[in-house]
């Protein structure tokens, strides 16, 4: 800011303060109303944004993951100057919804030399999964649930009761395959 511009601003501020001083001395009620109105406007203007909704979408690049978009209103952001219809605001990319798919899997009961069941092995192909951290896995004595949010869902009953404490799962990144093993009770 140039020194002349700075002097001009200081002069305006000084005139404004003089006006407020005159108002407070000559009409205290009007002065109080003016100050209250300014405080109210300031509080509205300085209020934080108001959350209306949140959208979650999956991103693939540069690193796969979830992107959360908060949709807010904020008094500090002016309304758009042109009137747009709702049809102009949202572009429909796809109108079909696909829920989670059941992945391809192989469920085997492993036996010893005498033919006695010893363990259960579940192999699941997950071509759309890049890491085990995307998977939610729940194992009980009777069944297993594998879920990759919005991508895969698998609920299987074991052919034999298993000891869930012995269960272990390994995800092979190159093959994008999950292998689960558990001992039979």
Q: Which domain holds residue 134?
A: 105-183
Q: Is residue 110 part of a domain?
A: yes
- Sign (positive/negative) of CA torsion 81, 55, 62, 100? negative
Nearest in space to 73 (alpha carbons), one of 92, 38, 97, 48: 48
Final residue in a domain of this structure, among 26, 61, 79: 79
State the CATH number of the domain containing residue 164: 2.60.40.790
pLDDT in tens, 50-78: 887 888 888 887 788 888 888 887 776 66
Which of these three, 79, 97, 117, is where a domain ends?
79
Q: Of all residues in the chain, what percent are helix, strand and coil, respectively (each to 5)?
A: 30, 35, 35
Same domain, 114 and 63: no
Domain count, the chain: 2
The owner of tokens 């109210």 is 40
User: CB of 154 within 8 A of CB of 124?
Assistant: yes
100 assigned to some structural domain: no
Give this prediction's pTM: 0.49
Does one domain contain both 126 and 164? yes
pLDDT digits (tens, 9 = 90+) for 128-146: 999 888 999 999 999 999 9
């Amino acid at each position: 800011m140039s020194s002349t511009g700075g002097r001009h601003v200081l002069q305006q501020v000084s005139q404004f303060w003089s006006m407020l001083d005159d108002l407070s001395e000559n009409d205290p009620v009007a002065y109080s109303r003016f100050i209250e109105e300014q405080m109210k406007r300031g509080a509205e203007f300085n209020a934080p944004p108001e959350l209306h909704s949140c959208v979650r979408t999956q991103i693939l690049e540069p690193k796969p993951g979830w992107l959360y978009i908060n949709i807010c209103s904020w008094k500090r952001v002016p309304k758009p100057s042109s009137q747009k219809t709702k049809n102009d605001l949202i572009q429909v990319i796809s109108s079909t919804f696909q829920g989670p798919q059941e992945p391809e899997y192989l469920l085997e009961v492993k036996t010893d030399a005498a033919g006695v069941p010893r363990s259960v092995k579940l192999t699941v192909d997950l071509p759309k999964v890049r890491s085990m951290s995307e998977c939610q896995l729940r194992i009980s004595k009777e069944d297993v649930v594998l879920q990759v949010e919005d991508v895969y869902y698998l609920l299987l009953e074991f052919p034999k009761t298993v000891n869930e404490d012995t269960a272990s799962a390994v995800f092979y990144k190159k093959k994008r395959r999950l292998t689960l093993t558990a001992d039979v009770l």
